């Protein structure tokens, strides 16, 4: 199986408080991972590290066989995403919300229309392009937000 992301002996500390201590895990292609635990156990920190939004104090993070370093963090961040439980949508159309992810990843403009159409098809929101994103139902918003990746 292909390993998508791997944490090896990862420690994360904020000031003098260690929130992750020597954590190792890997996520394989097609695998579904659930992180469960009490508040403050480090679940969100692990997710932020896996999305390259949080730096580690020690250990190693790999994404598709590439070891995370200060030189490639931005590049790897552009290949990953983190969807929060509460969605964040721009005060704009569904199309504008979905195309945002393509723009920041520098996808050529001539590919935007087809990519948005395909993404909305995948999450079963075909023909929603012109609807105001903030007026979608909660479930529709979560589907649409996942699609900006």
Query: 56 with 101, same domain?
Result: no
User: What is the per-residue pLDDT for 144?
Assistant: 60
pLDDT tens digits, one per residue of 134-146: 887 777 666 666 5
User: What is the per-residue pLDDT for 91?
Assistant: 87
User: What is the per-residue pLDDT for 104?
Assistant: 83
Domain of 133, in residue numbers: 94-146
pLDDT average, residue stretch 7-28? 94
Query: 116 with 60, same domain?
Result: no
Residue 89 lies in a domain: no
Query: 17 with 51, same domain?
Result: yes
pLDDT tens digits, one per residue of 58-82: 999 999 988 888 888 888 888 887 7
Mean of the per-residue pLDDT values of the chain: 87
Query: DSSP letters of 89-102?
Result: --SSBHHHHHHHHH
Specify the 3-state DSSP secondary structure of 14.
strand
Tell me if 94 sits within 8 A of 133, measured CB to CB. yes
Residue 115 lies in a domain: yes
Residue 88 lies in a domain: no
- pLDDT-derived band at 90 (thresholds 50, 70, 90) equals confident
Phi and psi (nearest 5°) for 83?
A: -105, 120
- pLDDT-derived band at 149 (thresholds 50, 70, 90) equals very low
Is the pLDDT assigned to residue 13 strictly greater than 90?
yes
Residue 66 lies in a domain: yes
More confident: 35 or 81: 35
Distance CA 59, CA 45 (A): 14
User: What is the per-residue pLDDT for 141?
Assistant: 67
Query: 106 with 132, same domain?
Result: yes
Number of domains in the chain: 2
pLDDT tens digits, one per residue of 109-135: 999 999 999 989 988 889 889 988 888
Is the pLDDT assigned to residue 11 strictly greater than 60?
yes
What pTM was computed for the model? 0.63
User: What is the per-residue pLDDT for 146?
Assistant: 58
Residue found by looking up tokens 């480090």 in the block: 42
Contacts of 73 (CB under 8 A, 6+ apart): 52, 55
Query: 66 with 10, same domain?
Result: yes
């Amino acid at each position: 199986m292909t390993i998508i992301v791997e944490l090896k002996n990862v420690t994360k500390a904020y000031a003098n408080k260690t929130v992750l201590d020597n954590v190792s895990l890997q996520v394989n292609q097609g695998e579904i991972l659930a992180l469960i635990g009490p508040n403050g156990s480090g679940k969100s920190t692990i997710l932020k590290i896996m999305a390259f939004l949080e730096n580690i104090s020690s250990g190693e993070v790999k994404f598709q066989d590439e070891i995370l370093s200060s030189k490639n963090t931005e590049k790897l961040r552009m290949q990953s995403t983190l969807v929060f439980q509460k969605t964040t949508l721009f005060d704009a159309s569904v199309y504008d919300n979905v195309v945002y992810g393509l723009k920041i990843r520098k996808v050529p403009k001539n590919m935007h229309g087809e990519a948005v159409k395909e993404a909305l098809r995948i999450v079963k929101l075909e023909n929603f392009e012109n609807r105001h994103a903030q007026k979608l139902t909660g479930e529709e918003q979560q589907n649409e937000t996942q699609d900006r990746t």
